[in-house]
A and B are shown apart, each in its own frame.
Chain A
Amino acid sequence: MDTETMAAETRAKRPIRWHVGVFLAPAVLVYTAFMILPLFGTLQLSLFRNIEQTQVFVGLGNFRTLFGDPNWSVNFWNALRNNVWFFIIHMLVQNPIGILLAALLSSPKLRFTAFYRTAIFVPTILSFVIVGFAWKLILSPIWGVAPHLMDFVGLKSFFTPWLGKEQYALTALSLVSVWQFVGIPMMLIYAALLSIPDEVIEAAECDGVTGMAQFWKIKLPLILPSIGIISILTFVGNFNAFDLIYTAQGALAGPNYSTDILGTFLYRAFFGFQLQVGDPNMGAAIATIMFLIILAGVCVYLFLVQTRLRRYQF
């Protein structure tokens, strides 16, 4: 058999490439078993209701209850509103500070860069329980260091028990969360800034664009895709948030539900709390709505934002 016929034969009946499937299988199986199946399980659960100890199909009945019954809808809209505020704080505080820190860190004149980088990133790897508990103590009006520190600089009169006041609690917790997670946008932006080719910067300098103008006109447009990614990560993270509120304020997200976000609302509905008996079906309905909100946000990003960002990439 000469080489030509052999080549023709392989072209004619290409062997099935089993190894592709074999290599993909572990990830696909694990992902299906632990992510996709539960997701569909939740969607399915939300269409049923437990009547007299049996699961009865009720179609969209649970969603009608969620949006139509004031006992549920008031709490739901309150949680959604709080969640949006939680997200806005992160977008307005966490991400700009993250970008600022990254810009400072990437400045060649700064010393101890590695130390700052690590110090700012450390809270991110702490457990929510530690963060929630530590901040509860820091802000405690009785034993906390916050009132004393503020006393030192003569600001004692500005101290209030933030976590116990309806009008401040959610903002205070959002800022705690910002403190914890500011390391992530910082790291991503820092990496993006480092990956800007030196030629671009040099060319800018030749054209007389330096200092602040260089940041705004050259660097910022080049890191926009990273900012987009960070925004969507923040969005997904915030609308899935639960732990911090739960550890700091408890499942009832007090005072007066002012820190109730979708995660805590879902928790109470699904697992119940104290004398409230859990209702997995209503819980699944809330989880489904959360899924749809996040899906919608991600779609907006993918189809409207990212397509436009692409032309800045090199």
Chain B
Amino acid sequence: MKTKLLTALLLGTSILGTGILGTTGMALAEDVTLNIESWRGDDLTIWKDKLIPAFEAKNPGIKVVFAPSAPTEYDAALGAKLAAGSAGDLITCRPFDKSLELFKKGNLADISSLPGMENFSPVAKAAWQTDDGKSSFCVPMASVIHGFIYNKDAFDKLGLKVPTTNEEFYAVLDKIKADGTYIPMAMGTKDLWEAATMGYQNIGPNYWKGEEGRAALIKGEQKLTDADWVEPYKELAKWKPYLGDGFEAQTYPDSQNLFTLGRAAIYPAGSWEIGLFNTQAQFKMGAFPPPVQKAGDTCYISDHTDIGMGLNAASKHPEEAKKFLSWVASPDFATIYANALPGFFSLNSTPVKMEDPLAQEFVSWRGKCKSTIRSTYQILSRGTPNLENETWVESANVINGTDTPEAAAKKLQDGLDSWYKPAK
């Protein structure tokens, strides 16, 4: 009796077991699950509620899971997962060398011929290409644009016009300073990168003529000590009297707060601030691109490629993953993404309709100005000393007045010369 019961039980469980296995097996055959690796935990809800449902609705049979890890751990965690073969099918790409290294190791697949890649300009693709530009390994997702955000109420009150040329820019700053209600410009040098990113890389492209100068620098035809590259430093040196009291110890959050509390009139910005500023500032805001030297000059803007997505070379579902990447490269994706995250602009050549007026203003500059990316990011920051980090330090020095523009440029060029030998 007892044995019979036992056999029955055993049989029962085995049948049940196979039953469960069978169903999961079938489910797998029908639905393919793609995992996305990312450091953008902030975007989790946007992916879950907007982007993924939009894709799944059009592509039945493919399930997508967005699985972010913390930004500071992302690179290490991704490296370990790739080595162990447990990484997701789709990998969010950091720009330039970090992703290039993954491609060289064979972790990222070559997607140069992916349908949809033709939607992007060469500059947009440059962040995720080999140095010769022959193979691409990530779909560009978003970029951030530099410029100046200003307090519209303050401008109206003081009767100021948005400056377009350098001369007008300083005239506006002088007027704000003379009035005394507002700090003319909210920027500090304590965190160093503000001076370099919001300062040097913001106004610089107008002087070194964007891509032209950047490419010449990489080729070794221009040097950081050339007038075109020293001139932005000379401008930065002029900013000092317009910054708030004690700007030397003013941190990045301090600058943001000074502006959103309405205590400063102009904020040298990156477009990623838009989301935060919209929720915090109680006044109307506007934006203007870095002023040009003379009226009528071509304007250049830093439209820096920041985030992309690539295909894990070891993915078990490369076809489905490619389908997803093609969708990421499509205008559909760009519209949802750019509207959900104002300030992160799609790199797609098709113009994206955006609701946010400030974001619209930023992106409108693409039409009238030429885009470039930050000069130090591609190739030039591979050695010791690291050009990007040194640029942070020297930009802060120039604004603090502890280094002359010429001395700063010379230090940077000497550092670069010590390891970088451009191909002749």
Contact = CB atoms under 8 A, between A and B. Distances in A.
A301 B251 CA distance: 41
A140, A142, A161, A249 — most chain B CB neighbours (10 Å):
A142
A71 B254 contact: no
Given A140-B254, A164-B247, A276-B389, A71 B384 contact: yes
A254 interface: yes
Contact of B249 (A161, A250, A256, A275): A161
Interface stretch (B122-130, B313-321, B391-399): B391-399
Contact of A254 (B190, B247, B384, B418): B190
Interface string A199-243: 000000000000000000000000000000000000000000000
Given A136-B251, A161-B249, A275-B97, A250 B191 contact: yes
B97 A256 contact: no
Contacts of A250: 191-192
Given A140-B254, A254-B192, A275 B381 contact: yes
A162 B97 CA distance: 36
A72 interface: yes
Nearest to B385: A71
A50 B161 CA distance: 56
A72 B248 CA distance: 27
B244 A142 contact: yes
Nearest to B415: A71
**Range for the number of chain A residues in contact with chain B:** 20 to 34
Nearest to B374: A275
B144 to A, nearest CB: 16
**Range for the number of chain B residues in contact with chain A:** 35 or more
Interface string A146-165: 01000000000000111111
A254 B250 CA distance: 12
B141 interface: no
Contacts of B97: 275, 277
Interface of B: 96-97, 105, 188-193, 244-251, 254, 258, 376-377, 381-382, 384-389, 392-393, 396-397, 400, 402-403, 415, 418-419
Given A143-B254, A164-B189, A252-B192, A276 B248 contact: no
Interface in A263-284: 273-277, 279
A252 B248 contact: no
B248 A255 contact: yes
B386 A255 contact: no
A165 B248 contact: yes
A279 B392 CA distance: 20
Contacts of A147: 246
Nearest to A136: B251
17 contacts: A53-B105, A71-B385, A71-B419, A136-B251, A141-B246, A141-B249, A142-B244, A164-B188, A164-B400, A165-B249, A250-B192, A252-B389, A255-B192, A255-B400, A256-B402, A273-B386, A275-B97
Contacts of B254: 140, 142-143
B190, B193, B400 — most chain A CB neighbours (10 Å):
B190
Nearest to A273: B389
Contacts of A309: none
B388 A274 contact: yes
A257 interface: yes
A274 B245 CA distance: 28
A181 B19 CA distance: 66
B246 A255 contact: no
Contacts of A166: 400, 402
A95 to B, nearest CB: 28
Contacts of B192: 250, 252, 254-255
A163 B249 contact: yes
Contacts of B384: 71-72, 276, 279
Contacts of B251: 136, 140
B386 A276 contact: yes
Nearest to B263: A142
A141 B255 CA distance: 12
A88 interface: no
Contacts of A70: 418
Kindly list the 6 A-B residue pairs having the minimum CB-CB distance in the complex, ordered from nearest.
A141-B246, A164-B248, A161-B249, A164-B249, A161-B246, A276-B386
B388 A276 contact: yes
B250 A142 contact: yes
B393 A254 contact: yes
A250 B252 CA distance: 12
B388 A275 contact: yes
A139 interface: yes
A257 B393 CA distance: 8
Nearest to A251: B389
Nearest to A159: B246
Nearest to A257: B393
B392 A252 contact: yes
Given A71-B418, A254-B192, A160 B246 contact: yes
A269 to B, nearest CB: 9
Contacts of B387: 275
Contact of B190 (A72, A164, A279): A164
Contacts of A163: 190, 248-249
A186 to B, nearest CB: 30
Contacts of A71: 384-385, 415, 418-419
